[in-house]
Amino acid sequence: MTTLYGLKNCDTCKKAMKALDAGGVDYTFVDIRAEADLKTLAPRWIAAVGANSLVNTRSTTWRGLSEAERARAETDPAGLLAEHPTLVKRPVIETGDTVFVGWTKDVQAALGV
């Protein structure tokens, strides 16, 4: 089963969902702000892909953080993401035990779309 974690209004997430639909890939969409349990998911994702791949340092949310909060990206990335779900680089796609972050050509190829 494939699960796509993202935001409903995220353009990249919309592109990913459209491509998955067109490719016939069955998936479940989970809104990371409203439905996801990031206290459980973030540590698992960080273990799979690393904090640097998961924390979106180019986001508006990141730019609004204090220096102390930004420092938590190094010391407590899971806690930071749980408190600020929009810092998660999107989409996060889980398929089996594999975790993909973003919607790159490599991710699309791996998912067969």
The alpha carbon of residue 109 and the mean position of all alpha carbons in its chain are separated, in whole angstroms, by 18
Q: Is 13 a catalytic residue?
A: no
**Per-residue tokens: 81:** 């993401």
The alpha carbon of residue 13 and the mean position of all alpha carbons in its chain are separated, in whole angstroms, by 9
Among candidate residues 3, 10, 25, 108, the one labeled active-site is 10
How many whole angstroms separate alpha carbon 11 and alpha carbon 101?
A: 15
With beta carbons less than 8 A apart as the criterion, state whether 86 and 61 touch: yes
Residues with a known catalytic role: 10
